[in-house]
Structure 1
Amino acid sequence: MISCWSLHLLILCALRGLVHVIWSSYSHMLFLNRNRTILQQGVDFNQIDLEWDWDNYLILEALVGSMACYVFPFLEDLPVWNVKGVIAAMILHVGVSEPLYYWVHRKFHEDHFLFTHYHSLHHSSPVPGPFTGGNATLLERLVLTVVIGIPVLGASIMGYGSASLVYGYVLTFDFLRCLGHCNVEVVPDEIFQRLPLLRYLIFTPTYHSLHHTDKNTNFCLFMPLFDALGNTLHPNSWQLHKRLSSGSGSNCRVPDFVFLAHIVDVSSCMHIQFYLRSFASLPYRTRFFLLPSWPFALLVLLAMWVWSKTFLVSFYYLRDRLHQTWVVPRCGFMYFIPYATEGINKQIEEAILRADRIGVKVISLAALNKNESLNGGGKLFVDKHPKLKVRVVHGNTLTAAVILHEIPQHVDEVFLTGATSKLGRAIALYLCRKKVRVLMLTLSTDRFHKIQREAPAEYQSYLVQVTKYQAAQHCKTWIVGKWISPREQSWAPRGTHFHQFVVPPILSFRRDCTYGDLAAMRLPQDVKGLGSCEYTMERGVVHACHAGGVVHSLEGWSHHEVGAIDVDRIDLVWEAALKHGLRPVSLK
C-alpha cells in the first residue's frame, strides 16, 4: 500500500534522475558506442551550461503529484499491483497521450510564436542528449506532465491504479525519452526486419535525432505511427537507422590527432564525461559526492587494468580536424613501480600501433607516459618501429617554451631543480644563451658537465652546479622540475615565484611566495565540441604537452618529437603555437 505519498514521490524523483544519469553515462562511453553515434559532434560547454538545470522538471512534477494526492485522496490507498491497471494505462497512452502529444508538439513547431517563446529552448542544444529531454520551458513541461498523468490518473480513477503502475509507467516514460535523445543507436535493425510493423510502434534514437535536424518531421512521442498518419514521417528514417545500427564504423572519422593521457589517482579517474558530465566540465578538485563512488570506481579501474586496453574518453574539433583523448588505465603511482614498467610500455606501444593502423597522423604522450626512465620520452617506440606512419610526440618542446616565456625578461638568475631531466636540460641551455645564470641542482657532476659542454663555449660559465638548496636562498626565481618538500621550499627568500614542470605539482606551502601552474596553453576560440576540462585546468586550457601535439598536427610536421629536446626548435614551436591561435594561460 502507498501510505506515504510524499516519500514515494521523493523516491520516484531520485530514480528518475538516476535513469537520466545512467543514460548520459552510456551516451558518453565513446570507447563502446562511437561506431553508432548519430551526430558526430561533441557536447560543448555552452550546451552543458544551457542544460545545467535539466532536472527542474522533476521538482515541478513532484509538486503536481503532491497536489494530485489532495485532489484525489484515493491515491494514498493504492494496491501494490493490479494487472488491469497496466492494460488500462496502455490503452490510455496509445489512445490519448500519444495523439495529444503529437498534436501539441506539431503545434509548437507550426506556430512561430509558440516555437520562438516556448520550444526553441529545447532545440537550442545542437547535440541531443538524455538531459536535453528534460531541458524545456515551463509550458512544455506542464504539457508533458499532463501527457504522463493521463494514463496513470485515468487508470486510478477507473479503480485499477497501483503503486507498480505509478513507478513503472513514469520510469518507462523517462527511459524512452532518454533513449530517443541519447544520440547513440541502440535498437538493432534485425528486429524491424523480422517484425516490420514494430517500427511504427516504437521509435529509435535515429528517428528522434532526425526531428532535431529537420524540425518539420518526426513529431511523435514514442510511436512513429502517428507521424505516418499525419504525413510527417521523415523519408530517411528507416535507411539511416539501418546504417547506424550496424555499428560498422562508417559514420566515424579517423582522428588527425590523439592525446594519450593517463589516470592520476582513483578520485581523478571519475573526472570524465561518462561519469558525471557536469563534474567533468569543471576543473577537477576533490568533492564530497565522490566519496560514495570511490569503491565502485576502484573496481572499474581494476577491471580496466585486467582488460588492459586504452579507451577513448573525449574529443573535439579544431579547424575541422578531429582531436581525441585516449586514456591508459594506469594510476600515477604505478609508473614508479619497477615491475610495472614493462606492462605500461606495452599498453602505450599498443596504443601507438593502433593509431598507426587506423591512420592517425600524430599521437602525443601525456606526462608520465613519456617518462625518461620509462621509455626515453617515446624514443623506445620509434626505435622499435622505424616504419611508423603516425608521428610520436612528447610535446616537451612547447612545454619548455611555455615555462621560459613565463620568466620575466629582467631575471638574470634562476634556481633549477630536476636540472638534468629532459626539460631541465633544455631550459638550462636556453637560458644560458640569454646570459641568465642558472643554478643547476644536481649531485651528478658528470651529468652536469655533459649538459654544460652542449652550451656554446662563451655561455658555459652561466651554468653553475649546486648540490644544496641553501645555494638558492637569495634567488627569487625557482624552476621546479623535481618535487620539493615544504622544508626544501623554506630556503627560498620571501617573494620567490615557483615555476614548475613537476607531476604532481608541489604544495603551495609558502604564503609569502607565489606558485605557478603546470605549463599549459589556451586552445583557440574556434574549437568545437569541447565539453570537459583537462584535470585541474580551466575550460579550454590543456597541458602544454597536449598543445605541443596539436601544433605538430596543425603544422603537418613529419618528424617524431621524442628523446632529448632540440633547444633550437623552442622558439620555432612557440611561434607556431601563437600562429595557430593558442595562447598562454596568462592571456585571457
Structure 2
Amino acid sequence: MVAPLSSWPWENLGSLKYLLYGPLVAKALHSWAYEDGQRYSWCLHILIICALRGLIYQLWHSYSSMLFLTRNRMVNKQGVGYKQIDEEWDWDNFLILHAFMAAMACYAFQFLGTLQIWNWGGCVYALLLHIGVSEPLYYWVHRRLHVGSLFTDYHSLHHSSVVTQPYTAGNATLLEQLILGVIMGIPILGPCLIGAGSVCLIYGYVLIFDFLRGMGHSNVEVIPNSLFEFFPFLRLLLHTPTYHSLHHMETSTNFCLFMPLFDKLGNTLNNRSWELHKKTSSAQNSQVPGFVFLAHAVDMLSSLHAPFVLRSFSSMPYKDRLFLLPMWPGAFLVMLVMWASSKTFLMYSYWLRGRLQQTWIVPRHGFQYFLPFATDGINYHIEQAILRADRLGVKVISLAALNKNESLNGGGTLFVKKHPNLNVRVVHGNTLTAAVILNEIDKDVKEVFLTGATSKLGRAIALYLCQKRIRVMMLTLSSERFQAIQREAPVEYQQYLVHLTKCQAAQNCKTWIVGKWLSPREQRWAPPGTHFHQFVVPPIFPFRRDCTYGKLAAMRLPDDVEGFGSCEYTLGRGVIHACHAGGLVHFIEGWTHHEVGALEVDQIDVAWEAALKHGLKPV
C-alpha cells in the first residue's frame, strides 16, 4: 500500500498537469479585464514567480551540463543516465503545489493587494525568521526523514538520484514538498502579517531560496575556496555543491538547508567537507578520457538537442517540434558566439568498463560543410581538436560524418599526414559503418542499387558485395572513378559491378543503399516495397509511404555503460552512430593504427566481430 502523501494526485495527467494553472490564469485575466487588475493581482504574481522559479532551475541545469566550462569542477564525475532522468521527469511538480499553497494563503489573508513595493524592515524580519525558524526547522525535519519508515516511504525517492542535479532538488514526495512550502512560507508570511511585507521581499526570498537550492544540487563547485580562506566564518553560513553532495554520498551527515552552522551545532557536519571543497574548487579535478567522438550539429534546430538545453528533450530521439521554433533565434545567436569563440566544446561523458569516454563538438552546423569558403576554417577546428586530444593523452579520437568528408580532408588523411607524430589515433569509423550496413542487408538479396558509390563507404560496400556475388548497380557520373573501383575487385567478381548514371535504371531493384542525397523525385523510381539503407548525412526525406527507410548506421552500447543520458540525433536511447562505435571498438581493442582515408575491405568483418565481442549490438 502506498504511504499517505507519498504520491502526487496529478501524476497520471502527464503534460496535462500544467492545465492546473488554469484557474490562476483565468482569475488574473478576469481581474485585468473587469477589475482594473487590482483585486486578484496576486494570481499574476504567483504565475510570474512560478515561471521564474522554473527558469532558475533550468539555468542551473544548463550551466552545470556545459561540461566544456564545468568538467574540472564537477563533484561527482559520473554522468546522468536515462534512469535518473526518467525518475526526475516530473521534477517541477512542486511548483504547482507551491502555487496552490500561495494562492490559498493570499486568498485567506488578502494581503498582497496592499503590499508595498519595498520595505527594509520586512527584509530584516524575513532574515531573522529564516535563521531562527526555517533553518532549524528544516534541519530537524530532515533528520527525522532519514529514520526508519519515513526514509523508506518518503525521502528515499530524493536519494535515488545517483548524481545530484538542479532538477534533483524538486524530485521529492508530496509530503516533503508540503513541508518545504511551509518552511519557505514562514519568512514571507511573518513580515506580511505584521505589516512589513513587500512585493520585492516575496520575489527576492523565493528566488534566492531556489537559486541556493539549485546551486547546492548542481554537482559543480562554483564557490572558490579562497573566499573561505579570507572569511572562514562563511563556511558555516553558506553551503556549497560539494557540501551538499556529501549528504547524498554519506546520508548521516550534512543535513542543513543552507547554513552548515546547524550541522556543526547538531554534530552532523562531515569532516571531509572543507577538504573535498578545496580539492574540487581548485579546478584540477579533471580526468583524461580514453576515447573522444568529435561530433557536429546537423542543423539549427537539432543543435537544441544538446544535453545542456532541455534535458528531457535530449534524452529522447530528436524530432522537429513546434516548441523549438521560438528558440531558433537564440540558437542562431549561440551559433555566432560559437563561431567567434572558435572552441571545441565537450558535450557529454559516459563510462564504459571504468574508462571515461567523451563527445566533443566542433562549432559548425551541417550547412557550413557545403560552403567552399568554409573548408579551411572547419579543418582548422578539427585539427585543433585532434591536437588538444593529443596533448591531453587521449588514445583515440573518432570523426563524425561530415568531419571526415572526403572533399574536406580526405577522411582524416590530411591531419595524419600533417602531424605524423601524433600519439592519438585518428579514426573515421567507416569500417564498422560499412559492416553495420552490410549486415542489415537480407541474406537472399541478389542485387542492390548504390548511390554515393565512389565515396569511401560506397567503394568498400561495392567491393565487399561483389565478392559475395551480389550485383551492385553503382550510380556515378564519373566512368573513370567507377572503372578505378572495378579494377580493385578480383577479376572473377568485376562482372558484378555495374555502372549507372540515372536512378531510372534501378526501378526494379528493391534494395537501395543511399550514400548521396536523393530527392523525392529520384525516390519515385524505386519500386513499391523498397527499403532504403542510408549512410548519407542528413538522412533523406521519407517521401514514399509504400517503402521503408532505415536510419543511419548505428549500434547499441554494451549493457555496462554508465552515465549515458543523451540520444545521438534521431537514434534511440543507448544507441550511437556506427562511426562513433567504430572509434570505441578501436580504443577497446587497443589497435595502434590510424583509420583514415580509404577503407580496407578485408577489415570489415574484423571490425564487426570485434564490436560484437565487446558487447555492442546491431539495432
TM range (shorter): over 0.9
Whole-angstrom distance in 2 between the partners of 1:444 and 1:351: 34
> Paired residue for 1:362?
396
Matched, 1:164 2:200: yes
Matched, 1:181 2:217: yes
Q: Secondary structure at the match of 2:157?
A: helix
Q: How does 1:423-438 map to 2 (within 5 A)?
A: 423-438=457-472
Which of 123, 126, 130 is the matching residue for 2:162?
126
2:351 is matched by which residue type in structure 1? Y
Whole-angstrom distance in 1 between the partners of 2:73 and 2:42: 41
Q: Secondary structure at the match of 2:295?
A: strand
Matched, 1:113 2:149: yes
2:358 is matched by which residue type in structure 1? Q
Which of 43, 61, 72 is the matching residue for 2:109?
72
Matched, 1:269 2:303: yes
Bigger Cα displacement from structure 2, 472-481 vs 353-362: 472-481
1:407 is matched by which residue type in structure 2? I
Q: How does 1:250-329 map to 2 (within 5 A)?
A: 251-329=285-363
Whole-angstrom distance in 2 between the partners of 1:552 and 1:439: 31
Q: Secondary structure at the match of 1:515?
A: strand
Q: Secondary structure at the match of 1:415?
A: strand
> Paired residue for 1:542?
576
Which of 234, 242, 253 is the matching residue for 1:217?
253
- Residue 378 of structure 1 and its aligned partner are, at CA, apart by 0.3
Moved over 4 A (4+): none
Which of 521, 540, 557 is the matching residue for 1:523?
557
Which of 518, 524, 541 is the matching residue for 1:507?
541
Q: Secondary structure at the match of 1:141?
A: helix
- Residue 3 of structure 1 and its aligned partner are, at CA, apart by 5.2
> Paired residue for 2:235?
199
Matched, 1:449 2:483: yes
What whole-Å deviation, never above 9, does each CA across 1:394-437 have from its counterpart, x for those lacking one? Answer: 00001100110111111111111111111110001000110001
Q: Secondary structure at the match of 2:473?
A: strand
- Residue 75 of structure 1 and its aligned partner are, at CA, apart by 3.3
Whole-angstrom distance in 2 between the partners of 1:3 and 1:496: 62
> Paired residue for 1:190?
226
1:515 is matched by which residue type in structure 2? Y
> Paired residue for 1:41?
78
TM-score, L = length of structure 2 = 0.93
Whole-angstrom distance in 1 between the partners of 2:327 and 2:509: 45
Q: Secondary structure at the match of 1:534?
A: coil
> Paired residue for 1:6?
43
Q: Secondary structure at the match of 1:259?
A: strand
> Paired residue for 1:373?
407
Q: Secondary structure at the match of 1:464?
A: strand
Bigger Cα displacement from structure 2, 369-378 vs 476-485: 476-485
Whole-angstrom distance in 1 between the partners of 2:266 and 2:544: 71
1:566 is matched by which residue type in structure 2? E
Which blocks of at least 5 consecutive residues in structure 2 are unaligned?
1-37
- Residue 270 of structure 1 and its aligned partner are, at CA, apart by 1.1
Q: Answer whether contact 1:314 1:324 (CA < 8 A) is retained.
A: yes
- Residue 179 of structure 1 and its aligned partner are, at CA, apart by 0.9
> Paired residue for 1:81?
118
Whole-angstrom distance in 1 between the partners of 2:241 and 2:526: 60
- Residue 351 of structure 1 and its aligned partner are, at CA, apart by 0.3
Q: Secondary structure at the match of 1:270?
A: helix
Whole-angstrom distance in 2 between the partners of 1:256 and 1:460: 42
Which of 281, 286, 302 is the matching residue for 1:245?
281
Q: Secondary structure at the match of 2:181?
A: helix
> Paired residue for 1:24?
61
2:248 is matched by which residue type in structure 1? H
Whole-angstrom distance in 2 between the partners of 1:104 and 1:84: 29
Whole-angstrom distance in 2 between the partners of 1:478 and 1:446: 23
2:265 is matched by which residue type in structure 1? L
Matched, 1:341 2:378: no
- Residue 578 of structure 1 and its aligned partner are, at CA, apart by 0.6
Q: Answer whether contact 1:435 1:462 (CA < 8 A) is retained.
A: yes
What whole-Å deviation, never above 9, does each CA across 1:204-225 have from its counterpart, x for those lacking one? Answer: 1111111110100000010000
> Paired residue for 1:57?
94
1:355 is matched by which residue type in structure 2? A
Whole-angstrom distance in 2 between the partners of 1:328 and 1:94: 48
What whole-Å deviation, never above 9, does each CA across 1:462-488 have from its counterpart, x for those lacking one? Answer: 111122222111111111111111111
Which blocks of at least 5 consecutive residues in structure 1 are unaligned?
none
- Residue 312 of structure 1 and its aligned partner are, at CA, apart by 0.2
TM-score, L = length of structure 1 = 0.98
Whole-angstrom distance in 2 between the partners of 1:71 and 1:442: 77
- Residue 74 of structure 1 and its aligned partner are, at CA, apart by 2.4
Count of residue pairs the alignment pairs up: 582
Q: Secondary structure at the match of 1:439?
A: strand
